[in-house]
Amino acid sequence: MHITKFTIDKTRLLPILTKKLSSVTQSKAPKSLSNRQLFRQILPPHETLREIEALNLGKPRKRNSSPFKKKVNIIEKKKLERRLGDLTLEQEEHLELPHLSFFAGAKIPTSFPPERVQELCFVGRSNVGKSSLINALADTTVVRTSDKPGLTQQINFYAAGNMFNMVDMPGYGFAYVKDEERLKWKELIEIYISQRKTLKRIFVIVDARHASTPEPPEPKLGLKIADKEFISMLDRKNIEFQIILTKCDMVIAPDLARRHTIVKEQLQVYKNAIPQPMMVSARRKAGIYKLRKLLLTIIGGLERAREVANKKKEHRLADINNKSKTPLHKILKKFTNKKTPRYFYVKRKRERKSLKKE
């Protein structure tokens, strides 16, 4: 017989086979469930799933332009609606926040600006997306963001018109900076949070992907140790806070609902936690209108924001109506000899229709 290095030596294989068999028999005995199995066993409530679908929060499904695949998508949506109920939630109000501008940065407590208007602050582990969330809320890019943890290294104050301030904090937990620097940030954040009289609410930002990563020193499921330490500190000091799950566009809908459920359960221990965690995606601007409405309600500026939104809508309508009175082809003729393309008329018609719908 020709022997190669791939020829199976039965005498060597036997111990391996017996070992495998023993492991199979062992697995029949009751064994503690893995984190993944525990996670899969969670049944999220229907309303959470419905909210995620309606606000378009989960990881986007692949959209296909082929008519067959479109039909499949429609059928899937209908199936979901049968299971979860109507997926159109209460109409989202298209509210806007006032113009955002940077006005102060503080590395030490003595550099905090005077307490004039109400403030909302955003805290969380480094790189969870605090700065990006402020940008998305104010529909701007004034706040600097980075994919490296530890970009925001001081408390930054941003004025939203003269209505209120949004405060961006450095992150706690891992960051590409020295340990002593991080300790300084921690002290600074604690001083700000416990001494600021104009502070109306603390939003603790949690990365939706991390809400259940189980690494050995971390708890099996749910919030990370750094988050738990921070919110326990808030609870000891009797300071109210609310959790916001960000980067929801990176988690598939059922898993996101499970993570939301875990976090909600864990919050029951904290007496100063607002029980309902919010879900957003700063990148896809999902859930942002809902959060904006909440901010405005806390500040007491909801009515003013509604008035501004209505005025803007009226102006836009009037603009379109005025434009349509002077035929576009006459305006264009001044500059060119060409006829007005049909495209312009269709576009205007569509704009008018969508405004009426709003």
Residues that bind ligand GTP (CB under 6 A): 124, 126-132, 145-147, 149-152, 170-171, 246-247, 249-250, 281-283
Q: Which of Mg ion, ligand GTP, none does residue 249 bind (CB under 5 to 8 Å by kind)? A: ligand GTP
* Among 48, 118, 135, 152, contact with Mg ion (rule: CB under 5 A): 152
Helix (H, G, I), strand (E, B) or coil at 43: coil
Nearer Cβ to ligand GTP (158/301)? 158
Nearer to ligand GTP, 165 or 246 (CB): 246
Q: Which of 284, 280, 310, 283 is nearest to 292 (CA)?
A: 280
- Choose among Mg ion, ligand GTP, none what residue 250 binds, the Cβ cut-off being 5 to 8 Å by kind: ligand GTP
**Which of ligand GTP, Mg ion, none interacts with 173 (beta carbon under 5 to 8 A by kind)?**
none
Q: Which pairing describes strands 164-168 and 155-160: parallel, antiparallel, or unpaired?
A: antiparallel
Q: For the CB of residue 24, give the shortest distance to Mg ion in the complex, in Å.
A: 50
Helical residues (DSSP H) of 196-327, grouped into ranges: 225-236, 253-267, 288-299, 302-325
Please tell me the distance from the alpha carbon of residue 102 to that of residue 142, in angstroms, as a whole number: 7
| Contacted by 51, from ligand GTP, Mg ion, none: CB < 5 to 8 Å by type | none
For residues 118 and 126, which CB has a smaller minimum distance to ligand GTP in the complex?
126
Q: Shortest approach of ligand GTP to residue 331 CB, angstroms? A: 42
**Is residue 121 within 8 Å of residue 169, measured between CB atoms?**
yes
Q: Segment contacting Mg ion (CB under 5 A): 146-154, 190-198, 296-304, 350-358?
A: 146-154
The piece of 94-102, 128-136, 214-222, 321-329 that touches Mg ion (CB under 5 A) is 128-136
For position 131 contacting Mg ion by CB under 5 A, the verdict is yes
Q: Is 156 in the site for Mg ion (CB under 5 A)?
A: no
Per the CB < 8 A criterion, the answer to whether 352 and 313 are in contact is: no
* Radius of gyration, CA atoms only, the chain: 27
Q: How far is the CB of 253 from ligand GTP (least distance, A)?
A: 15
Using the structure block, give the residue that is written with the tokens 């109400």: 118
Q: How far is the CB of 107 from ligand GTP (least distance, A)?
A: 14
Q: With CB cut-offs between 5 and 8 Å by kind, which of ligand GTP, Mg ion, none does residue 129 bind?
A: ligand GTP
Distance, in Å, from the CA atom of 32 to the CA atom of 81, rounded to the nearest integer, reads 36
CB atoms near residue 296 (< 10 Å): 22
Write down the least CB distance from residue 209 to ligand GTP, Å.
9
Contact criterion met (CB below 8 Å) for 279 and 291: no
With vertex at residue 226, the alpha carbon angle to CA 268 and CA 273, rounded to the nearest 5 degrees, is 25
Binding at 324: pick from ligand GTP, Mg ion, none (beta carbon under 5-8 Å per type) = none
Least Å distance between CB 201 and ligand GTP? 18
Choose the binding region for Mg ion from 16-24, 124-132, 216-224, 230-238 (rule: CB under 5 A): 124-132
- Distance between first and last Cα of the chain: 83
**Which partner from the list Mg ion, ligand GTP, none does 132 bind, CB cut-off 5 to 8 Å by kind?**
ligand GTP
Beta bridge partners of 105: 156
Q: Which of residues 181-240 bind Mg ion (CB under 5 A)?
A: none
* CB-count exposure of residue 43 (10 Å: 0-12, 13-18, 19+): exposed
149 binds, among Mg ion, ligand GTP, none (CB under 5 to 8 A by kind): ligand GTP
Largest CA-CA distance found in the chain, in angstroms, rounded = 96
Separation of alpha carbons 302 and 307, rounded Å? 9
Closer to Mg ion at the Cβ: 131 or 261? 131
Q: What contacts 46, CB < 8 A, 6 or more positions away?
A: 83, 84, 85
Q: 261 is in the binding site of which of Mg ion, ligand GTP, none (Cβ under 5 to 8 A by kind)?
A: none
Cβ 281 to ligand GTP, closest distance in Å? Answer: 4
**Contact between 355 and 317 (Cβ < 8 Å):** yes
d(CA 143, CA 141): 6
Q: Please give the residue ranges that form the binding site for Mg ion (CB under 5 A).
A: 131, 152
